[in-house]
Amino acid sequence: MLQSQCPHLGLNCCSSYCWQHIPRLCCSAHHVACRSMGKQQQAGGSPLQSLKLTHKKLKPAVINDHMLLVPGVLTPHEAQQCIDAAEGLGFEHQGSRGAAYGEAYRDNHRISVQDPALAEQLWSATGLQHTMAGVTVDGLVPIGLNANIRFYRYSRGQKFGRHIDDSVEVAPGQHTGYTLLVYLSGPLEGAAGTTSKGSKSSCSSSQVAASSGKGKRKAPGAGGSQPMQITSSVQDLVGGETVFYGPRSRVVASVAPAPGLALLHLHGEERCLEHEGAEVQQGVKYVLRSDVVFGAPR
């Protein structure tokens, strides 16, 4: 089995998956083989312990068969609290060797925290649990969020090249099925937006089916986002869109960051759309990352 450097943790990884899927380069957020090797902080005593998230009436907007947007998962104040807490913990640079070595290009800073309490808050206190109700993947239902919480920071000139997100088993009979990205920074004023097939869209739909044909959901609602403001020392963000590609490298969606906006997209080897984090042209892009865990109905 080929051993090489894991592009997510920056460590040697014995998982062969990443290195055998070119050009669909995989950057699994937490290879099982790497989980015990990466520098991962525990939440106890950290600034994250002071976060108290409020419940919202969320209005998700379906983009396509693979993803949906949920504006307002965090308030601008909560987003700023997350930024401050992550900066307090300290970021580490994350790079890669590029496609020539089977690694997705990556240049950013990251931190990983094992925080079941924050994962539970994000899932149940914000309204995400209700938003994901009705989603199934291979007959399994969403049961919570991965306690492995990651924070990413992209400064001017930094980006994350095209890759896919792999599904990971977090416990027997439980595996991740959707990536959760919560943008913490964005334009200081303005609404979240998504460009799909070259046009501005509110992305409303009554139903979403998984790309494999095995997953489906009924959207609990649809609607546009409201203008959000954030008081921050961070410069107004330009660039940093999450861009998804279909067949023949056709852009199928481009999501612009906005404070508190959540993006959920199907992931896994045969399901995940190839996507990238576009280069930041101005300001600093902050993102909170977790995954929706699926298991047997309770």
Predicted local confidence at residue 100, as pLDDT: 74
| Distance (Å, whole) CA 117 – CA 64 | 31
In a domain, 232, yes or no: yes
| Distance (Å, whole) CA 277 – CA 166 | 16
DSSP one-letter code for 98: -
Predicted local confidence at residue 199, as pLDDT: 36
pLDDT surpasses 50 at 144: yes
What are 270's two structure tokens? 């045969």
Domain range for 128 = 41-295
What percent of the chain clears pLDDT 70, i.e. is strictly above it? 69
In a domain, 48, yes or no: yes
In a domain, 17, yes or no: no
In the chain, the amino acid numbered 41 is: Q
Beta pairing, strands 159-163 & 242-245: unpaired
| Distance (Å, whole) CA 98 – CA 109 | 16
CATH number at residue 65: 2.60.120.620
pTM for the model: 0.75
| Distance (Å, whole) CA 259 – CA 226 | 11
Please return the burial class of 278, using the count of CB atoms within 10 Å of its CB with bins 0-12, 13-18 and 19+. buried
In a domain, 199, yes or no: yes
C-beta of residue 106 within 8 angstroms of C-beta of residue 152: no
Domain count, the chain: 1
Q: Return the residue matching tokens 């600034």.
A: 47
In a domain, 167, yes or no: yes
